[in-house]
């Protein structure tokens, strides 16, 4: 009898890591560019560059706020796959699982072929964090997926 037949599916609630510091920084940058708006001539390259930066920062700020209030989801750990926010990930499609433990633990799942971790695979466990990380490490070990601790970048 295979051990995996008795392996139960684990479901853990996840949330988006706090983006409040990034929202504050982005709002500061928007204010800084707005200040420069009044200190430069309203013609030429710098004028259009300033407008471009302000539009980019405003769009980024809106996306951050939407991401912050987005509905919380779950991760399912089954013997042969992970289901993260509704997306199934087979072990063969995962390059590594990264764990960042400074201040509060953040998890990132890096698919094969991606340099950065997509934000849909970037999360924190909402409850029973230690049990969830232990289950994730066990799953990764059984499926020969590398687990690496340290800093990582997440991108849209």
In this prediction, residue 96 carries a pLDDT of: 92
CATH architecture of structural domain 3-16+73-155: Roll (2.30)
In this prediction, residue 72 carries a pLDDT of: 58
Q: What is the pLDDT of residues 18-30, one digit of tens each?
A: 666 767 777 787 7
Kindly list the domain boundaries of the chain, sorted by start residue. 3-16+73-155, 20-69
Q: Give yes or no for residue 6 having a pLDDT over 50.
A: no
* Contact indicator for 155, 106 with CB cutoff of 8 Å: no
In this prediction, residue 110 carries a pLDDT of: 92
**Sole residue written with tokens 């983006």:** 19
* Distance separating alpha carbons of residues 82 and 11, to the nearest angstrom: 10
Q: Give yes or no for residue 155 having a pLDDT over 70.
A: no
CA distances (Å), origin 155, targets 43, 60, 141: 34, 12, 26
The residue among 68 and 99 whose pLDDT is bigger is 99
Strand partners, 11: 76
In this prediction, residue 117 carries a pLDDT of: 86
- What is the chain's alpha carbon radius of gyration, rounded to the nearest angstrom? 20
Under the banding of pLDDT at 50, 70 and 90, the label for residue 71 is low
Q: Which backbone phi and psi does 74 adopt, to 5 degrees? A: -140, 165
* Distance separating alpha carbons of residues 121 and 127, to the nearest angstrom: 18
Q: What is the pLDDT of residues 76-120, one digit of tens each?
A: 888 889 888 888 899 999 999 999 887 778 888 999 998 888 888
* Distance separating alpha carbons of residues 16 and 11, to the nearest angstrom: 16
């Amino acid at each position: 009898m295979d051990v995996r037949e008795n392996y139960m599916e684990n479901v853990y609630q996840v949330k988006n890591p706090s983006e409040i510091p990034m929202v504050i920084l982005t709002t500061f940058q928007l204010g800084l560019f707005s200040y420069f708006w009044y200190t430069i001539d309203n013609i030429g390259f710098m004028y259009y560059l300033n407008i471009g930066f302000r539009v980019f920062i405003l769009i980024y700020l809106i996306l951050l706020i939407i991401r912050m209030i987005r509905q919380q989801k779950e991760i399912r750990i089954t013997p042969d796959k992970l289901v993260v926010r509704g997306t199934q990930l087979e072990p063969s499609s995962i390059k590594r699982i990264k764990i960042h433990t400074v201040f509060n633990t953040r998890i990132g799942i890096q698919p094969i072929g991606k340099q950065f971790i997509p934000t849909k695979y970037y999360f924190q466990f909402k409850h029973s964090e230690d049990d969830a990380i232990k289950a994730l490490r066990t799953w990764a070990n059984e499926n020969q997926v590398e687990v690496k601790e340290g800093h990582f970048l997440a991108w849209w």
